[in-house]
Each structure stands twice: as C-alpha cells, then as structure tokens.
Structure 1
Amino acid sequence: MSGLLALLDDVAAIAKVAAASVDDIAAQSVKAGSKAAGIVIDDAAVTPKYVTGFQPARELPMIWRIARGSVVNKLVFLLPVALLMQQFAPWLVPPLLILGGCYLCFEGAEKILHVLLPHDAHSGGPDGSHDVGDPNHLEEQKVKGAIKTDFILSAEIMTITLSTIDSDALWVQAATLAIVGLVITVLVYGVVAIIVKMDDIGLWLTKVGKLQATRSLGRGIVAFMPWFLKILATVGTAAMLWVGGSIIVHSAAQMGWHWPEEAIHTLAHAVSHGEALLDWLTKAVVDGILGFGVGLLLVPLATKVIAPLFAAKPHP
C-alpha cells in the first residue's frame, strides 16, 4: 500500500511539473507572439496581393496551399535549424535578428519609395505580377512566390520567438516554437482568407438580400474593401519599419553596442515624463524613423548590387 501511495505521490509531482511546464510554454508563446506582432501584421497585409486577380473559386485553394507551405517552412525547416542554433551557436541569434531587421527595414522603405517616386504601373515586377500568360502557370508562380516570402518572414518570427524564450529546456523551446508557428500561421491565413472573400460576401449580400439594409451593407462592404486594403498595407509598412528598427537596436545592445538603445530610452523618458503609453509611442516612432533610414541605405544596395547578382545567368 505504501508503495502505491509513493507511486501516486510521484505521479502527482510529475503532473505538477508538467502543468508548470505547460504554463511556462503558454507564457513563452504569448510573449514571443507579441514580439512578432509587427511581422504578423505585415504578413497579413502582404499575402492578399498574391491571390488578387484570380477567379474567386481559386482564391481559397491558393491561400490553403500558401498556408500549408508556411507550416512546412516553420516546422520542417526552420524549427530544427533554430533549435540547433540555440544549442550549438547561440551567438548567431543577435546577428541573424539584425539581418532580419534590415530586411524588414528594406521592405518598408521600398514600399514607401514605390508610392512617393514615379514609376511605370504597367511594367512587370520581379514577381511577374503583370505577366498574365497561362493562368495555371501564373497561379503556380504566385503560390511559390508567396511561400518564398513567407519563408523569410517565418524565419524572422522563429528567430524572434527563440530570442524571447527564457527556458533552457529543449522540449520547452521546441514546443514554444511549434505553438507560435502554428498559431501565427492560422491567424495570418485565416485573416487573409476572410479579407480576400469579403468583396464576394458583399456582392452576395447585394444579390440575395431581401432587405434594403442588407443590400446596402453588401454595397458598403464592396466599396470599403479597397480602402481597407490600403489601410492594412499602410499599417503593415509602419509595423515593418517599427519592428525592424527595434530589432536592430535591441540586438545591437545584446552584442555590446548599448548606446543606440540607451539614447532612445533617454529621449523617450524625457518626452514622456514617466507616462507609459507616451514612452512606448516615442520609442516606436524613433525605432520606425531609424528603420526607415536603414531601409533607405539598403534599397540601392539591394536593387543595384544584390538583385542583379542573383538575376545574372551564367554563360554556357
């Protein structure tokens, strides 16, 4: 009997440890998810463009294929690499975060320059966005392009997640990375699916609505969605610059370069006078301005040097 009681006591102790670990994983996941919020917003803002212009019947299948590719990116490729890096080369995390932050700053600055500077709206972009050709081939290109973009954003999300995990337990790190990756994927592509189908829902309401109010709601949805997509793109761009700048500043501090973070903290304290919201807003604005400056420096490097190198084909 005493042996049974001892066994039950051990089981209870294990259950308590397991429950504490689950709570720890949940806390780590929430913390990491909040840190990656800016990238999530950008991901949700960027993805709809890949299914724009296709038949409505193809929109959800394309989003499903992109979402499935995103899960593979996160869980099959990036999660094992992140765990190996944390175990054997943790010093790589801050430089990789800086690299990812620079990419976000470049993307944000490039989007702003695309709006401000004159350009040919009908010229084909690097993703072949204006090259119609065979619809099936174009769909395949779009899906592959979206999955490639998702890989970069997912790598940044997983690296940010890894940098926020306080536990040294490998299984806690793996579980946190998997949970954050899955939750963010479901959140992003669920929102994207709703966004791209809202105009169809609006049209459906205008056709089947028996009440004038219902038909008016449908017309309102159809009229509002283009504006909503513009607002979402603007918020996504601002989030990219803010998150990119803050990642660079914080990761630089982790590598021993403390003065940028300290200068921003001093400025925010002087402006906010201890008000938490104003302190956060000041830091976000400064980080965003810094991110835009870094992006401006990277745009000519990426477009004039790096892109031609990747585009160049070796001669036979």
Structure 2
Amino acid sequence: MATSLLALLDDITTVLDDIAVLTKLSAKKTAGVLGDDLALNAQQVTGVQSNREIPVVLAVAKGSLINKSILVPLALAISAFAPWAITPLLMVGGLYLCFEGAEKLAHKFFHHDAEDAAHHEKLTEALIHTEVDLLALERDKVKGAVRTDFVLSAEIIAITLGAVAQASFATQVAVLVGISLLMTVGVYGLVAGIVKLDDAGLYLSRQTSAAAQRLGRGILAAAPWLMKGLSVVGTAAMFLVGGGIIAHGWPWLHHASESLAYRVGAGWGWLTPLLFDAATGIIAGIAAVLVWTGVQKLRAAVS
C-alpha cells in the first residue's frame, strides 16, 4: 500500500513537473501575443468614466475567461477530430483583426467633422440626461474588447496547443487551462494598472512629500501620452498579429517572408518578418474594408 502510494505520488510529481515545463515553454511562445493583447485591451477600455474603469476592465476580463472556457474545449476537440481546420479558423480571426485595424485607420484619416460632432453630442447628452446611455456606450466598449480578446485568445490557445501536441491529454488540458488563467490575470491586471495611472498620479501629487508631488505630476503629464501611444501600438498590433496569422497560414507568403529576411541579412533580418507581417495585415485589412463597404452599399441599394 505504501509502495503504491509512493508510486502514485511520484507519478503525480512527474506530471506536475511536465505541466510546469510545458506551461513555461508555452508562456515564452505566447509572450509576443501577450504584449499585443495588453496594448489592444488597454486601448479598448480607455475613454470611460474614472469610477467605471475598473468595472469595465473586470467585465472584459470576465468575458475573456468565458472566451477561453469556450476556446479550450473547442481547440482540444478540433485538434482531435479536425486538426486541418485550426489554420483556416485562425486565418479568419486574423483577417478580422486586420479589418478592425483598417477601420480604425479609415476613421482616423477619412472621417468627417460632422461624425465627430455627432459623437460628441451623443456623449454630452448621455452625461447630462441619463445614466442609461452611458451604460449602453460602456457595454459597447466591453463587447468590442471581448470580440478582440476572442481572436487573440484563440491564437494563444492555438500556439499553446501546438507546444503540447505530443503530451498526454491530461497534460494538454492542464497546460491550456494554466496558460488561459495566467494570460487573463496578467493582461487585465496590467490593463487595470495602466488605466488607473492618472488616479495614482493625482493621489501622489496631493501628498506632503515634494518627491511624491513631483512623481505624481510626472505621471499625470505622461499618462495622456501613454494612452495615445497605446492607441497607436494597439492598432499596429492588429496588423502585426492578423498579418502574421495570414502569412503563416499561406506557405507561399511565409516562404516569401523568410526569403526576404535572408536577402536582407542578419543585421536587419529580425525586423523584416515584422514589417512583412504588418504589410500583409494592412493590405488584407484594406481589402476586407473595401469588400465590406461594397457589401453594405449593395445591401442599401437593394433595400
């Protein structure tokens, strides 16, 4: 009995050790996506009232957990019964990210002043008259962030699944669940810290210590620039992640990227694939926006 118990404990220890090693490996492989996820979600939840920032972050984090609770069993099922479908599904998600990025650029460079005035009027009316409209706007932000999170979570799950493909089913489940929890807590913990920087700066600026006041004023001065920077990084991340998924899904594009990096040489070879992925994402996003705009105009003409 004692021998059986020791053998069981040894087996459990071995499995846990395997899970720890594979989780660490998967975390390294998904670190790039984690950075993109952070930038995108910090960008998505900015712009709400100060007292609603943390509830919004928590709502998106809850949505992210729901996304992963759907994606983990779905990924395991697809891997077991239809592994060929993983790449096409990821490419559809990548195209959606490129589409969102292109829409943001189109709004930035081609929107009309009347649209900004209408949006500002809508926010003003919501602030003056009722909380209902503000809550509706907040829900829209949460839905948008959760949709974006779904695509990025799918990529994280797919990368992790690839890293543990040869492991036992139990180990695969443990690693996927561990990575899902780690990424969710890590990303949204950092997002919560970022969106509350201005409050931290205000608190420090009101302290009696001169050093604390200087630090608080510095944080208050830097926070708007950080948010603007995150907006730029978030949009760029959409093209990088989406373009990377598309480029890796089509072997000829992937080979073209590798060939270009080889020709550039070791000095700048590391940057070439990133630029290639970004260019792929921008082209795919613009094409998707043009197609979607054409479909909308066609539907409007028919109706």
Superposition TM-score, scaled by structure 2 size: 0.84
Please point out which of 52, 68, 81 is paired with 2:74. 81
Instruction: Measure the CA separation in 1 of the matches of 2:237 and 2:140.
Output: 25
> 1:174 — aligned with what?
173
Q: For residue 230 of structure 1, report the CA deviation from its aligned partner.
A: 0.9
**Which residue number corresponds to residue 41 of structure 1?**
38
What residue number does 2:211 align with?
213
- Consecutive unaligned residues in structure 1, runs of 5 or more: 254-258
- Partners of 1:293 and 1:167 lie apart in 2 by 32
After superposition, residues 254-265 of structure 1 pair within 5 angstroms as 259-265=252-258
Match of 1:290 in 2: 280
Q: Matched residues in 1 for 2:45 and 2:14: separation?
A: 43
Residue 106 to residue 262, structure 1, CA distance change in 2 (3 Å): same
Q: Which shows bigger deviation, 292-301 or 77-86?
A: 77-86
Write 1 or 2 for the structure with the bigger share of helix. Answer: 2
Q: 1:17 aligns with which of 7, 14, 17?
A: 14
Please name the residue that 1:226 is paired with. Answer: 224
The answer to whether the 8 A contact 1:40-1:184 is kept is: no
One-letter code aligned to 2:214? S
Alignment of 1:134 with 2:127, yes or no, is no
Aligned ranges 1:63-102 → 2 under 5 Å = 63-75=57-69, 77-102=70-95
Q: How far apart are the structure 1 equivalents of 2:239 and 2:144?
A: 21
2:109 corresponding residue in structure 1:
116
RMSD: 2.9
- Aligned partners of 1:171 and 1:130: how far apart in 2? 53
| Structure-2 change in CA distance of 1:22 and 1:299 (3 Å) | same
Decide whether the 8 Å contact of 2:94 with 2:151 is kept in 1: no
Does the CA contact (< 8 Å) of 2:44 and 2:141 recur in 1? no
Q: Counterparts of 1:303-314 in structure 2 under 5 Å?
A: 303-305=293-295
Shift of 1:130: 7.1
Q: Output the CA distance in 2 between the equivalents of 1:233 and 1:117.
A: 18
Work out the CA distance in 1 between the residues paired with 2:215 and 2:28. Answer: 38
Please list the CA deviations of residues 91-136 of structure 1 after superposition, one character each: whole Å capped at 9, or x if unmatched. 11111111111111122222223323343322339xx867626324
Counterpart Cα distance in 2 of 1:111 and 1:148? 13
| Aligned counterpart, 1:256 | none
Could you tell me which of 42, 51, 55 is aligned with 1:61? 55
Q: Structure 1 residues 8 and 81 mapped into 2: Cα distance closer, same or farther (>3 Å)? A: closer
After superposing the two structures, state which structure 1 stretch, 140-149 or 94-103, moved more.
140-149
Is structure 2 residue 199 aligned with structure 1 residue 200?
yes
Letter paired with 1:291: G
Equivalent residues of 1:66, 1:146 under 8 A apart: yes
Whether the 8 Å CA contact 1:33–1:180 is kept in 2: the answer is no
Alignment of 1:27-38 (within 5 A): 27-37=24-34
Query: How far apart in 2 are the matches of 1:95 and 1:306?
Result: 25
Equivalent-residue separation in structure 1 for 2:215 and 2:27 (angstroms): 36
**TM-score, normalised via structure 1 length:** 0.80
2:98 to 101, 105, 125: 105
* 8 Å CA contact 2:56, 2:142 repeated in 1: no
Q: Which residue identity lines up with residue 270 of structure 2 in the other structure?
A: W
In the alignment, the residues of structure 2 paired with residue 4 and residue 218 of structure 1 have an alpha-carbon distance, to the nearest angstrom, of 61
Q: Which amino acid aligns with 2:139?
A: V
What letter matches 1:225 in structure 2? A
Relative to structure 1, the CA distance from residue 175 to residue 286 in structure 2 (aligned partners, 3 Å threshold; closer, same or farther) is: same
Match of 1:154 among 150, 156, 169: 150
- Whether the 8 Å contact between 1:102 and 1:248 is mirrored in structure 2 is yes
Q: What SS is found at the alignment partner of 1:124?
A: helix
Distance in 2, matches of 1:29 and 1:129, equals 42
Report the number of matched residues.
Answer: 293
Contact kept? 2:34, 2:183, Cα under 8 Å:
no
- Residue pair 1:39, 1:239 contacting (<8 A) in 2 also: yes
